């Protein structure tokens, strides 16, 4: 018998099934990265984004209505969004849920309208939409949905099947739209991620047996990892896992949300606070659940309360506190300084680069970059910690700019200025060119102009054989990657780096800055510096320890 509508319970099942399918395919999607570098992250970013929403949906009551589920999907993905692909996915969900949240049941015409709203919302979030990406696949699905609706199709099984088949066809055509995909022999990774979400949701609709259990997904990166024993100790340090929902009695703005989170951080850890129009979902590990409950009651009534004694479930063990815990504890102890006019936030990776930013006056460092893109939530937390009227954010990675912009749109009590720095050297240049006597708007304009004069090259290794920019690349080769593509390839790291710098030089070049990574010896870097000086006698050459993983050298030319 044909099914023509779905209710809130089925929507929840389909969404969780889509999330689980994407999670199971994330490593495969990571490998679709055009450049064969060891930092493919599209699958990871999209998975962490959708799982942020999936945790909110799975925490809802079984009889949650359509509006409540839609709020959980939209709010959870918005705050958990990481990387360009994750931000775009969150915007697709935001638009889609707006199209269905006011209905008790959803049919083909409503679905078609929601698909269209999803695409409109996502395209608006991207300043310069590029075809051949996740946006194109989403638009193809929406166009097919509209076509089937206008033809009078009512059977949702046939509708979903038709939409997904067309989305897969559009995905297969992405290499024809983006030559770089065709040369690398891959389809767009973000588009593939979206197709996997749709296919998983369809499996949920068909009633296939799927484990819909949603577990915590934690960022894992070389600079931010905690070993298993440290994680156990962190969990056991605060004995009561406390969860509840606040039914808000009045508006809960961003400032109140951040204040509440700061209070929870002072009494516990493992904190999740996700706010929507009229409810706030709270999770905290603490030794005094009563304190969390008393604070929450100031904002409204409580429901769905759950407190577990974790010490009864795990044998207590004592371990040395991890470096990350120490850093968090010290940060929590810091008293807020007197509010100032201007503050800076920089995304950075590598202890040397972190110190450079701090030495230039950056107030807060967000650990992240190529291997782990910070989320919108990470940006909001950093903004809260900087006690200034105007806050500049330096993403220092093209894949983090959208998350920074999304955070900017959510802040009401501070002026947030995102300088679209795509590399660490651009971020350093932006800070150096800040002039206290200029207005925030004048400084932003000046910084954007200056970062346009910075060329950046990065040296890493290839993880697979491919052909890009007419260069044949073998697994294990070193690659020098510039702002617009691969500049050099070879089996000798120094030769590849020198060739990359040579390609970056022009007659206006005055300064070459070299930041060497965690896997490069200082003597090796000094030797490279001398050779670059010999090649470019008219330029000043600076060498600094960056400590970054993955990239042996980051080099800028100005």
Helix (H, G, I), strand (E, B) or coil at 419: coil
pLDDT < 50 positions in the chain: 217-235, 315-322, 324, 332-335
Same domain (yes/no): 200, 246 = no
pLDDT at 40: 59
DSSP 548: -
Domain boundary among 279, 312, 345: 312
Residue 351, domain CATH = 3.40.50.510
Same domain (yes/no): 400, 466 = no
Q: Please state whether the predicted TM-score (pTM) of the whole model is above 0.75.
A: no
Structural domain of residue 348, as residue ranges?
334-451
In a domain, 389, yes or no: yes
pLDDT at 312: 65
Residue 71, domain CATH = 1.25.40.340
Q: Where are the alpha helices (DSSP H) in 126-241?
A: 134-150, 156-177, 179-184, 189-206, 228-237
In a domain, 26, yes or no: yes
Same domain (yes/no): 105, 179 = yes
Cα–Cα separations (whole angstroms), residue 301 to 247, 250, 272, 293, 506: 5, 11, 18, 10, 65
Same domain (yes/no): 41, 150 = yes
Q: Which two tokens stand for residue 20?
A: 């689980």
**Total domain count, the chain:** 4
pLDDT at 328: 52
Same domain (yes/no): 296, 420 = no
pLDDT at 368: 78
pLDDT at 176: 93
In a domain, 435, yes or no: yes
pLDDT at 230: 38
Q: Cα separation of 202 and 198, whole Å? A: 6
pLDDT at 218: 46
Same domain (yes/no): 152, 258 = no
CA angle 262, 264, 265 (to 5 degrees): 65
pLDDT at 315: 47
């Amino acid at each position: 018998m044909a099914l023509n509508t779905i209710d809130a319970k089925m929507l929840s099942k389909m969404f969780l099934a889509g999330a689980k399918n994407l999670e199971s395919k994330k490593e495969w999607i990571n490998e679709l990265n055009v450049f064969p570098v060891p930092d493919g992250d599209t699958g990871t970013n999209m998975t962490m984004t959708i799982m942020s929403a999936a945790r909110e949906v799975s925490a809802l009551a079984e009889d949650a209505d359509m509006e409540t589920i839609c709020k959980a999907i939209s709010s959870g993905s918005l705050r958990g969004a990481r990387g360009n692909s994750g931000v775009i996915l969150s915007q697709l969900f935001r638009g889609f849920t707006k199209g269905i949240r006011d209905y008790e049941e959803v049919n083909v015409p409503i679905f078609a309208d929601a698909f269209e709203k999803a695409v409109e919302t996502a395209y608006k979030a991207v300043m310069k939409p590029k075809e051949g990406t996740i946006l194109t696949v989403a638009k193809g699905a929406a166009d097919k949905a509209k076509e089937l609706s206008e033809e009078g199709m009512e059977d949702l099984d046939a509708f979903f099947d038709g939409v997904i088949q067309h989305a897969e066809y559009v995905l297969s055509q992405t290499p024809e739209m983006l030559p770089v995909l065709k040369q690398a022999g891959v389809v767009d990774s973000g588009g593939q991620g979206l197709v996997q979400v749709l296919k998983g949701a369809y499996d949920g609709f068909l009633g296939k047996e799927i484990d819909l259990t949603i577990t915590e997904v934690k960022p894992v990166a070389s600079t931010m990892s905690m070993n298993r024993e440290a994680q156990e100790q962190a969990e056991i340090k605060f004995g009561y896992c406390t969860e509840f929902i606040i039914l808000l009695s009045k508006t809960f703005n961003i400032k109140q949300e951040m204040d509440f989170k700061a209070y929870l951080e002072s009494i516990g850890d493992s904190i999740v606070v996700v706010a929507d129009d009229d409810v706030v979902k709270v999770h905290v590990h603490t030794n005094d659940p009563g304190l969390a409950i008393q604070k929450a009651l100031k904002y409204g009534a409580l429901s769905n309360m759950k407190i577990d004694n974790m010490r009864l479930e795990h044998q207590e063990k004592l371990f040395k506190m991890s470096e990350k815990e120490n850093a968090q504890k010290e940060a929590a102890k810091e008293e807020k300084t007197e509010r100032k006019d201007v503050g800076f936030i920089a995304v950075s990776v590598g202890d040397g680069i972190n110190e450079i930013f701090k030495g230039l006056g950056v107030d807060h460092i967000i650990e992240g970059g190529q291997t782990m893109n910070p989320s919108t939530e990470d940006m909001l937390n950093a903004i809260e910690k900087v006690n200034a009227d105007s806050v500049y954010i330096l993403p220092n990675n093209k894949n983090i700019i959208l998350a920074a912009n999304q955070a900017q749109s959510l802040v009401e009590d501070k002026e947030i200025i995102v300088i679209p720095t795509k590399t660490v050297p651009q971020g350093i240049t932006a800070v150096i060119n800040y002039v206290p006597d200029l207005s925030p708007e004048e400084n932003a304009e000046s910084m954007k102009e200056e970062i346009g004069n910075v060329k950046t090259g990065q040296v890493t290794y290839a993880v697979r054989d491919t052909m890009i920019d007419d260069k044949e690349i073998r697994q294990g080769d070193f690659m020098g990657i510039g702002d617009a593509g691969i500049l050099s390839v070879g089996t000798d790291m120094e030769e590849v780096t020198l060739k990359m710098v040579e390609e970056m030089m022009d007659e206006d070049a005055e300064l070459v800055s070299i930041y060497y990574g965690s896997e490069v010896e200082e003597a090796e870097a000094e030797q490279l510096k001398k050779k670059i000086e010999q090649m470019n006698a008219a330029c000043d050459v600076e060498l600094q320890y960056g400590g970054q993983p993955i990239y042996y050298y980051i080099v800028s030319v100005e």
